């Protein structure tokens, strides 16, 4: 497996603050380029919406006039395979564009910038590997969530039995004693929170080992999807606390954007709720107005996510840069430039 070429002399690995700072500097200096790539990524991700929209229009025309099982069956037979194809291809192209941002950022970090078009061609050539990587990561994530639920349920069951034994509360006769019911409820809530925290620790540790699973595939040559996951597992060994702290700091940086999006969406929904009763003919007017508000909220969501995605991809590239210098002692040099 060939490694990405690196330049400069040996340097000390980056601190937590330097990783986030490096990511923010790169993000700010290439904001327009990264934002447009992220916007393109989300356009591909929602390809299933754009692709099925004409089919929805056809269904709206045909079904009311001819609501026969044959018509509905034909639309379903066409729609389901089309939706699967569009969803797979759109997700694959989303991953390709996200990887392009990380590849460009890493090139700047090692002072070997690459032309965006050349990087785009390279990432597109690996699109099926990104698809298999995404599928593997989805399966791993679902397994992790299932494990979290099972661990939590086991811990909570043990906690409930322990609370009943220590406090002497009989959960079967709570209706007869309101005070005991309140005490039991509070104890169970507190116990549930503690159980959830305990259950989250091993799952968080496991997922953090895979936090940069897509970056080796974007940067290194001649590796498969499974090898990229394995590279993340190897590179992150012994660095989980650092990676978790970096992720928390990065989340705090992006939090204002997320809050602004949610606040704006809630405000628009409130305006819509207030407007509907004041309409002269709500039944006739509600559909187009609802569609308009939905499109506005949908557009704001895409724009906000397109602003956040590049930052996370750059942060992951900086994590990868830092982890390789720590675990493999590679000669890396962070460009110290005024931006």
pLDDT at 20: 86
Look up the pTM and report it.
Answer: 0.81
CA distance 142 to 130: 18
- Kindly tell me if the per-residue pLDDT of 125 is higher than 90: yes
Burial class (CB in 10 A: 0-12, 13-18, 19+), 273: exposed
pLDDT average, residue stretch 52-73 = 61
Average pLDDT, the chain: 81
Question: Which of 80 and 261 is assigned the larger pLDDT?
Answer: 261
Return the structure tokens found at 98.
Answer: 């996200």
pLDDT, one tens digit per residue, over 182-238 is 777 788 889 899 999 999 999 999 999 999 999 999 999 889 999 999 999 999 998
User: Residue 69: is it exposed, middle or buried by C-beta count within 10 angstroms (0-12/13-18/19+)?
Assistant: exposed
Tokens encoding 322: 């830092």
Domain ranges of the chain: 16-328
pLDDT of residue 122 exceeding 90, the answer is yes
Question: Measuring CA to CA, how many Å separate 58 from each of 73, 208, 338?
Answer: 13, 45, 55
Residue 166: CB atoms within 10 A of its CB come to 9
Residues 37-58: tens digit of each pLDDT: 999 999 888 876 666 666 665 6
Overall average pLDDT of the 15-26 stretch: 85
> What pLDDT was estimated at residue 74?
64
Are 102 and 316 spatial neighbours (Cβ–Cβ below 8 Å)? Answer: yes
pLDDT of residue 62 exceeding 80, the answer is no
Percent of the chain with pLDDT over 70: 74
Residue-level pLDDT at 220: 92
CA 195 from chain centre, in angstroms, equals 25
């Amino acid at each position: 497996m060939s490694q990405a070429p690196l330049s400069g002399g040996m340097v000390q690995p980056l601190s937590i603050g330097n990783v986030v700072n490096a990511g923010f500097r790169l993000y700010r200096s290439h904001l327009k380029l990264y934002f447009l790539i992220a916007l393109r990524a989300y356009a591909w991700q929602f390809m299933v919406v754009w692709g099925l929209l004409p089919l929805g229009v056809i269904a709206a025309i045909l079904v009311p006039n001819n609501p026969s099982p044959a018509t509905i069956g034909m639309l379903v037979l066409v729609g389901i395979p089309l939706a699967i194809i569009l969803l797979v291809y759109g997700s694959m192209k989303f991953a390709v564009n996200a990887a392009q941002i990380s590849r460009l950022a890493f090139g700047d970090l090692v002072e070997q910038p690459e032309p965006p078009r050349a990087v785009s061609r390279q990432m597109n050539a690996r699109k099926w590997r990104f698809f298999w990587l995404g599928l593997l990561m989805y399966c791993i994530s679902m397994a992790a969530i299932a494990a979290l639920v099972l661990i939590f349920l086991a811990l909570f069951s043990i906690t409930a039995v322990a609370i009943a034994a220590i406090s002497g509360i009989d959960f079967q006769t709570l209706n007869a004693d309101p005070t005991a019911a309140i005490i039991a409820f509070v104890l169970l809530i507190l116990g549930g929170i503690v159980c959830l925290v305990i259950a989250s620790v091993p799952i968080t540790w496991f997922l953090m080992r895979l936090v940069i699973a897509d970056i080796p595939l974007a940067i290194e040559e001649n590796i498969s999807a499974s090898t990229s996951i394995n590279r993340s597992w190897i590179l992150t060994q012994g660095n989980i606390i650092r990676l978790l702290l970096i992720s928390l700091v990065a989340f705090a940086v992006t939090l204002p954007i997320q809050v602004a999006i949610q606040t704006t969406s809630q405000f628009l929904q409130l305006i819509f709720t207030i407007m509907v009763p004041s309409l002269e003919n709500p039944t006739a007017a509600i559909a187009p107005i609802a569609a308009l508000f939905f499109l506005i909220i949908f557009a704001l969501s895409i724009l906000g996510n397109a602003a956040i995605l590049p930052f996370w991809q750059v942060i992951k590239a900086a994590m990868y840069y830092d982890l390789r210098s720590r675990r493999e002692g590679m000669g890396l040099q962070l460009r110290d430039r005024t931006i």
